[in-house]
Amino acid sequence: MSAGYFPRREKVGIEDLFKGLVTASHILHHHGVLDAYGHISVRSPDNAATFWMACNISPALISTPDDLVEYTVEDASEVEKDAKAGYIERYIHSEIYKRFPAVNSVVHSHCSHVLPFCISGVPLKAVIHMAGFLGTSVPVWDISSSYSGGLPHDLLVRNKERGASLSVAFKPATSTGFLYSKVRSALPSQIGGTQEPDKEPNHAVVLMQGHGFTTLAHGIEEAVYQAIYTKEAAKAQMAATMLGNAYFGQVVEGKVDVQGGGKIKSASVKANCDIKSLSDREAHDAWDSLQASIARPWGLWCREVEINPLYRNQCPAGDD
C-alpha cells in the first residue's frame, strides 16, 4: 500500500485516506494555517464523483472516521443522508473538484499572516523559493460579484454559484505568467495528469477578499505543503517590507507652494524598499525541483502532531 495520497501511488485504501486526512488537519492546525475554522478535503480514490472532509468540527479535534463525511462533487450533498452536519463552505471544494478533474485535495484557510494581502491591494508574491508554486501573480477573488438569491452577504461560499465563481479564479480566461499546470505535466495519466491540460488550474492559490485563501493540489501532502508555505511566503514578504521601509526610509513627493510658506501640495509618500520576488522561470523551476522532496517535510510534520497530546488520530491503518 502506498504511503502517498494520490501522486506516484499504485493504490490507496480508504483507511489510509482517512488517516492521512485527519493527520493533515492536525498538521495545518499545528502550523497555524487553520484554527477553529478552515478545512481540508480529499477526493475519493475509488470514486472521482465524491470527496471526503470533516464534519462541523474544529480541525485539531478531528480524530476518527466518524468525524468524516462523504459528499458528492456535483452539489456538495451528503452521500449518506444521516451524516453529521458539515461545513457551510464545502461548496469551495465541490466546485473546484468539478472544474479540475486532476485536483484531488483542497485547503481553505483564514491564516492571519495571509489576510493582509486579501484586503490591502498589495500583491502576494513568491519571494522565497519554497513558495515557487505561487508564481508571479496570485489572484484575489471578490465574492461580492456572486452575491444573489437573497443569501447573506457574509463572504461565505454558501452555494454552488459562489463556489463556481471562486473556482474560475484558478483559471481565468486572461491568465498570464506562471502556469501551475506546467509543473504537473509529469503526473501519471491514471490520476488525470496530462490528459486534459486545458482543465488544469493556472494558479495553485487564490486569495479571497476579506476572507482568507484557498489552495488546490493533486494530493494531500502537496496541498498541505502549499498551504504552509503560502503562510511562510506571506510572513517573509511582510517582514521584508517592514524591514526595508525601516532601513531605507520613505520619501515625500509633491509640489512646494512657495507663496504659501513652503508647504507641500498634493504630496505622496513613496517607500524606497523594493522587494525582489522570483521571476516566472525561477518560480517554475523552484517548484519543479521541490516536487521530489515534499515527503521530507511531510514526515516531519506527521511526527510533530503524532507526539503532541492535543491531536488524536484513531483511524485504523490500511493493510498492505
Structural domains of the chain sorted by starting position, each given as residue range(s) with its CATH number in brackets: 14-306 (3.40.225.10)
Other Cβ atoms closer than 10 A to 209: 14
Digit-coded pLDDT (tens) for 77-124: 999 999 999 999 999 999 999 999 999 999 999 999 999 999 999 999
Strand partners, 269: 252
Digit-coded pLDDT (tens) for 4-50: 666 655 567 788 899 999 999 999 999 999 999 999 999 998 899 99
Report CA torsion sign: 146, 149, 153, 156.
Answer: negative
| Catalytic residue chosen out of the listed positions 15, 74, 78, 89 | 89
Alpha-carbon distances of 190 from 109, 195, 201, 271, 291, rounded to whole Å: 29, 9, 18, 50, 18
Find the helix or strand (DSSP H, E) in which 14 lies.
Answer: helix 14-30
**pLDDT of amino acid 203:** 96
Can 222 be counted among the known catalytic residues?
Answer: no
Digit-coded pLDDT (tens) for 209-232: 999 999 999 999 999 999 999 999
Q: pTM value? A: 0.87
Query: Of 12 and 303, which is predicted with more confidence?
Result: 303
Alpha-carbon distances of 31 from 17, 58, 158, 293, rounded to whole Å: 21, 15, 27, 19
